[in-house]
Amino acid sequence: TVLMDGVHITNGVAVVFDVPAMIPGALRIELRNCVCDGGAQMYVQGYSGEPASDRSLEVRVSGLSGSYCSLVFVHNLPAHTNVTVRDSTIVTAGPMRYSQLSGLTDAVASPLVLYATSLLRTQLRVSNTVLRSSHPGGSAVYVGGDVDLLWSAVVLDGVSLEASGGPTASAMRVASSSRLSLRSHSVFSVTNVSVVSSGGGIELGER
């Protein structure tokens, strides 16, 4: 288990949970009552290729208070991964320097990012949480670099999606050059969600 309890992350620091580099077997990552600001980034980084078959992963985020930060899930997560983000407020108040991802620009400026990831028999649930981007052109949720769901679910339940960065901002954006693929009974569910945006709402891209 990797536990961060009451930790303050600031000044553009990137915290990277590099799943392939950790000890094989069951892995649990828990962030509890942490604070992130100053452009900090937190990455859950999966496998660039096929995930290891002997790895299981659980990620729990609760009570996260972020005045200027971003939570990023990137690359392929192990099968049967369970991710829960709850009772949190994550705000991206300005440009983000995504130091671990060459494919993301400062303009993405999103509190929750799914990037170039494959989810197999996995559930990612966000509940009772505020996701807010106030940077010009930013989005509360950003999907990029092709995201594939296979027998998986992404659930936003009781979430507030807020984007106040002008007419090019959006509550949720799938990048126009990317693909969000739902296969084999996969679900992307949005329920009991409030949307406040100075620009677009939920934009699913062009593909």
DSSP reduced 3-state for 20: helix
**Which amino acid appears at position 148 of this protein?**
D
Q: How many Cβ atoms sit within 10 Å of the Cβ of residue 163?
A: 32
Q: What is the mean pLDDT of the chain?
A: 92
Q: Write out pLDDT tens, residues 38-50.
A: 999 999 999 998 8
pTM: 0.94
Rg (alpha carbons) of the chain, rounded to whole number = 15
Q: How many residues does the chain have?
A: 207
Q: What integer pLDDT is reported at residue 207 of this predicted model?
A: 46
Per 3-state DSSP, the chain is made up of helix, strand and coil in percentages (nearest 5) of: 5, 55, 45
Are 171 and 142 contacting, i.e. CB atoms less than 8 angstroms apart?
Answer: no
User: pLDDT digits over 124-160, tens only?
Assistant: 999 999 999 999 999 999 998 889 999 999 999 999 9
The secondary structure of residue 192, as a DSSP letter, is: S
Least trusted range by pLDDT, from 58-67, 176-185, 186-195: 176-185
pLDDT in tens, 126-135: 999 999 999 9
pLDDT band at 24 (very low <50, low <70, confident <90, very high): confident
Q: Is residue 114 scored above 60 in pLDDT?
A: yes
Q: What percent of the chain has pLDDT over 70?
A: 97
Four-residue CA torsion sign, 12, 73, 91, 28: negative
pLDDT at residue number 178 = 84
Residue 200's pLDDT band (cuts 50, 70, 90): confident
Tell me the C-alpha distance between 138 and 198, whole Å: 10
Higher pLDDT, residue 194 or 106: 194
- Residue-wise burial string across 103-125, b where 16 or more C-beta atoms lie within 10 A, e elsewhere: ebeeebbbbbbbbbbbbbbbebb
Collect all residues with Cβ–Cβ distance below 8 Å to 171 and sequence separation of at least 6: 139, 140, 141, 161, 162, 163, 195, 196, 197, 200, 201, 202
